[in-house]
Structure 1
């Protein structure tokens, strides 16, 4: 990296990598605007260690890629100033419309903020929900690879700030994003503005019920596939706040329809005593690590269930951080399956020595597919974070500040122990719901406002508040008690 990057942006931090990424994306958008004028450019979702983008009605060629990269590099080398235009919301909307950036202008019609910060690069305007650097010379590492019909934009990560991530095929994940984009089209909700219009028109209940029905269709397909096999163990894994508990219970109900009885256990009960965990060099215990689980006991239990149909499993007491002395008996008949949910469910270490033909693996995450506008996607991570803030406050007596401060540790654990195994799943389930952000706003907004200005989590809380303000509030009356979102807002029939 050049000196100015090292001096001005620390991309090993979450705010730093956001600033770096936003700056690169602003340069990219400016370059695409110049090369493909009057074409809609959309920054979509994270895939294959990068960010997928597409240009309306154009299939990107290698010649296009080469030209885009040259022009981006020219901006970086020239260190062009990025100007800030801080103005009233009404003036921002007018200015954006004058520049034919109607999608961002439309989204700003719904936000409650009185002031808006617009970034200008060489006459091109855009809005971001976190910082952009002062000039184009603050960044230098990037790459672009074609990904039909668009391309993937790569930049460094927090964990490896001086190199670009290795391209990794994630075909199953890409298939899920493609499937849900089609669902969005079916529902007529390509972006937040479209969703907000449904709320104002009074037709949001149809969107809620249709979203739930689409997830039920997917659950039906998964349960049907399981019914055609000799599976004994269904491993459900996913990052924090994906809705694993509710998904496991809904899957159990769907399996009943196919004549299969299922029992549910959690890998959390295989935690070893906190006092027996080995701390790192800083004296901290990594609760996200697979080493925090008693893997040997788990495999012994599963093999006993396979061979004898009976075993005794542990039970963990979280308030005391110790395993309860009594073991819980559990049986498994020939026509029954065991659903096992936990963040490490897809890790091969958990199932090593258990017959592969007895294991069905499911990866679940809130793979958000709705954009705020063409330049700003609502990230999967932010969706899960807002879910967690809401749940932690209501059910775990934890403040937004507490959740925000520990979130970086949670994400680091996900990068190490969960995401590397997602493509090994037999199926990927998207737990995101199109309507959930307007619903979460009702609860999360007041929780986030309690973060004080002198708290280091304050800026992050304001960023999340700004994003949530783009969504019209949605009433929860039409949300069924079996919905995954009920796990976070309350009223679930499974709790």
Structure 2
């Protein structure tokens, strides 16, 4: 950081529109007549949502965590407060470590260097946030090593960087396990790269963003730390609340459409009432249907469950018909494996019966090739975000299609992880585009289509059933099992892959899908009371073993570990499905277990 006086610093921040708060640092030293500012040894300031530099208040973190705990787990405010304070201390320490600490930044940079493909490594490192943070920390620490009034020479800077990189300590998981150790050429490549970046930074004026973590960064750390210490449900509730508030600020949803905790109470209460009336609201009562106890016939429960689902879908189709003159695009969105595809096909058939011609557009074809998808420090791909979709091309095609033009639509090969061909796609004036997409409600995805011309449907598998401990089963766990079966049978992925990858699926859902639940024209429940036993039978012995799940804990991957343990325990209490042929071919669950009478693209 260039040496500036307090007056110069205040003038600089005034020019940038930031309130002139001089940062408090662990020490200052005069260099070349200016006031030197070193890296802090704790988090003192942050940048708030208005872009202003304000004091860091740990009490704000404590309150947000405590209120989330109370929302998810009810009473016991005293214990929630104790835990919230402990977690907040860990979060503050993590923010300091990952924003300022040179040792941690060196390790994280090297991990990313090892992780990135050599052909795209330089460009991706230039864009990585850790590069800027590391270069800044190098510059500040380097200046701390200068004594007297000597010039910081280019040779000294390069030698300093070389010493830091050669003595960097990196997690053995990367240097001795998943990735090889750095060789001499790679070390020199890192030194040259960082030398160039640090040399550039030595010449520039500091910005508040370099000096202080942003509020959004702080909230990211809250989510990550809660997950890393095993508080996955608290982290997810926090994420939903945070994303909902962000979307209100951005004008994407109104305060009335704010979901708070991601639960549609009206649908949930209606489903619970139905389950109670039909004696299938607990694992115990569900097992009675499976075993035929107390005069119960499983075929009756199957028929009633299927009827409920299909009647709800038919009602939604009628709502679309009521607006047929203005609707140009029907969007069916929802979290992963919530039956979007089957529901899309059924609605399409219902509308076709009324004379509306439909044209299904599969947004999966717009995925970027796998080689262009980012990896994390574990080497996993993160393509569950809307950014994994080529939204520019999709919107260009939508605009062309609605104006009567033809487009060359890509075809995505999931087993190869790339687009392998294109085909002509055209929509006539009397046709409606039908979109089945995980992120269909994400505004940018269909930005080229006016809102009045869209009918938006949200679908979720709301299985409102209590486990043997009296707790409601997690909808996300049911959908994860559905996806395990689908990925295993139709996409070539083992179930271990699906479990390990699920945190990224949930991250995308919580940020870009669930917060939109109240901004839609219709909400559908695809959860079937009898499907847990059916899923258990379809999974068979392919579910990850306890030994494999235990390795996740040893690696510190608590999110998939907790889910794996929870689902394993749940399946142990569920009876096996007696005969899979009892499930009709028109059932939504057939989308995952196979045997559907509808054309399911990923089953072809």
Q: TM-score, normalised by structure 1?
A: 0.64
Q: Which structure is higher in strand share?
A: 1
Q: What's the RMSD between the two structures over aligned residues?
A: 3.5
What is aligned with 1:251?
347
What is aligned with 1:353?
448
Higher relative contact order, structure no. (Cα contacts within 8 Å, ≥ 6 residues apart): 1
1:178 is aligned to 2:269: yes
Structure-2 change in CA distance of 1:321 and 1:444 (3 Å): closer
Structure-2 change in CA distance of 1:194 and 1:291 (3 Å): same
Partners of 1:182 and 1:169 in 2: CA distance: 22
Partners of 1:283 and 1:314 in 2: CA distance: 27
What is aligned with 2:591?
487
Out of 455, 458, 461, which is 2:551 matched to?
455
What is aligned with 1:336?
431
* Bigger radius of gyration among the two: 2
Structure-2 change in CA distance of 1:455 and 1:398 (3 Å): farther
Partners of 2:561 and 2:425 in 1: CA distance: 47
Partners of 1:489 and 1:205 in 2: CA distance: 18
Matched ranges for 1:196-207 at <5 A? 196-201=287-292, 202-207=296-301
Question: SS where residue 542 of structure 2 aligns?
Answer: helix
Partners of 1:390 and 1:253 in 2: CA distance: 26
Partners of 1:277 and 1:348 in 2: CA distance: 21
What is aligned with 2:34?
none
Matched ranges for 1:84-483 at <5 A? 156-157=234-235, 168-169=258-259, 173-201=264-292, 202-229=296-323, 230-277=326-373, 286-308=382-404, 310-324=406-420, 326-373=421-468, 375-448=470-543, 450=545, 452=547, 455-456=551-552, 460-474=563-577, 475-483=579-587
Partners of 2:425 and 2:242 in 1: CA distance: 48
- Aligned 8 A contact 2:243 2:511 in 1: no
Q: Which structure is higher in helix share?
A: 2
Question: SS where residue 359 of structure 2 aligns?
Answer: strand
Partners of 2:454 and 2:70 in 1: CA distance: 28
Partners of 2:444 and 2:242 in 1: CA distance: 29
Question: 1:383 offset after TM fit, Å?
Answer: 0.6
Question: SS where residue 547 of structure 2 aligns?
Answer: coil
- Aligned 8 A contact 1:290 1:417 in 2: yes
Deviations 1:189-246 (A, max 9, x none): 2322222222222511111111011111011101111111121211111111112222
Structure-2 change in CA distance of 1:51 and 1:262 (3 Å): farther
More off after superposition, 165-174 vs 349-358? 165-174
Question: SS where residue 264 of structure 1 aligns?
Answer: strand
Question: SS where residue 448 of structure 1 aligns?
Answer: coil
- Aligned 8 A contact 2:458 2:524 in 1: yes
- Aligned 8 A contact 2:332 2:437 in 1: yes
Question: 1:320 offset after TM fit, Å?
Answer: 3.8
Structure-2 change in CA distance of 1:78 and 1:407 (3 Å): closer
Question: SS where residue 596 of structure 2 aligns?
Answer: coil
Q: How many residues align?
A: 358
- Aligned 8 A contact 2:496 2:544 in 1: no
Question: 1:268 offset after TM fit, Å?
Answer: 1.1
Q: TM-score, normalised by structure 2?
A: 0.53
